[in-house]
Structure 1
Amino acid sequence: MRSTYRLFAYLVATGVLVQAASVAYAWFAVLQDIDAGGVFDKSAGPNPGHLTHAINGMVVTPLIALTLLIVSLFAKIPGGVKWAGSTFGLTALQVALAFVSFSAPVVGALHGLNAVALLVTALFAAHRVKRAVGPDAQQPVVAPSAVHA
């Protein structure tokens, strides 16, 4: 269960990185289209970067964060529920900030800053597993000491 916890925490962190990459691709594609004489308005429709950002941010990453929170209840990692709960909370805030940003674009800056907080929190959650002790935790391999005669 601990390795599952770690996997889902790293998946949330990966989701944040996918978000950053997809939104960068989306807007650079828009700029390229404008430079080529295109027009960006309501009729333009989303490009693949925008679609990836929307689907990953509104569906995939929140489901992974929710799964992390559920797994944390059974993983028995010290502080694991707290970190998974924080990760889920920041994910929910991220979605809320995205919706608000459409009406108040300045809030988009908080959306970007919260993404960094979410990334760091998910990585801390994953790191909690390395500190956990138990049968499912990774234990360092120690070579038996040589017997001296």
Structure 2
Amino acid sequence: MLIPIGVAVQVIVIAGAWFLVLNDLDSGTVLDNNTVGNWAHAAHAQIGAIVIPLLALALLIVSFFAKVPGGVKWAAITFGVVILQVFLAFVGFAAPLVGLLHGANALAVAAVAEVAAGKAKKASVTAPAQPAVVS
């Protein structure tokens, strides 16, 4: 569930980033090639390019050992859409309309990560209890 939570944080910080930009523009700041992003843009970039991909990679690695039915498949799908998300972000700088796909794919990242989490939760609830070993 850390990945869907991360996506929610991403939505919050990117909204904050652009409202900060709008506030700066209202205050007379000029937005040009010399303008650097604000703290929220930086947070969005770091979480999206480092934190969430590392979480997706950790999920994929753990899925091989977790013995959750369908776990590896959903972890791999999650990892795939996360990598696609990073790719869409970088391409979006050169082709701004790709940013629409970046936003839409964020919903896919959250959705497939929640499916993976649901598979793990279901497996932990339905796992048979191990018999106690008596010496």
TM-score by length of 1: 0.82
**For 2:120 and 2:100, how far apart are their aligned partners in 1?**
32
Q: Secondary structure at the match of 1:38?
A: coil
**2:80 is the counterpart of 1:89:** yes
Structure 1 segments of 4 or more deviating over 3 A? Answer: none
**2:63 is the counterpart of 1:63:** no
Q: Secondary structure at the match of 2:118?
A: helix
Q: CA RMSD in A?
A: 1.1
**For 2:33 and 2:2, how far apart are their aligned partners in 1?**
33
**2:27 is the counterpart of 1:42:** no
**2:24 is the counterpart of 1:33:** yes
How many residue pairs match? The answer is 127
Sequence identity of aligned pairs in percent? 54
Equivalent residue, structure 2, for 1:134: 127
Larger radius of gyration: 1
**2:93 is the counterpart of 1:102:** yes
The one-letter amino acid of 1:19's match is Q
Equivalent residue, structure 1, for 2:110: 119
Deviation digits for residues 16-44 of structure 1, max 9, x if unmatched?
A: 11111111100010000001111112222
**For 1:80 and 1:70, how far apart are their aligned partners in 2?**
11
Equivalent residue, structure 1, for 2:133: none
TM-score by length of 2: 0.90
The structure, 1 or 2, with the larger RCO (C-alpha pairs under 8 Å, 6+ apart) is 1
Offset, 1:72? 0.3
Offset, 1:129? 1.7
**For 1:42 and 1:69, how far apart are their aligned partners in 2?**
39
Among residues 12, 21, 32, which one is paired with 2:3 in the alignment?
12
Deviation digits for residues 62-87 of structure 1, max 9, x if unmatched?
A: 00100000000000000000110000
Deviation digits for residues 75-127 of structure 1, max 9, x if unmatched?
A: 00000001100000000000000011011000100000000011011111101
Higher helix share: 2
The one-letter amino acid of 1:134's match is A
Offset, 1:135? 5.2
**For 1:135 and 1:22, how far apart are their aligned partners in 2?**
42
Equivalent residue, structure 2, for 1:140: none
Structure 1: tracts of 5 or more residues without a match: 1-9, 137-149
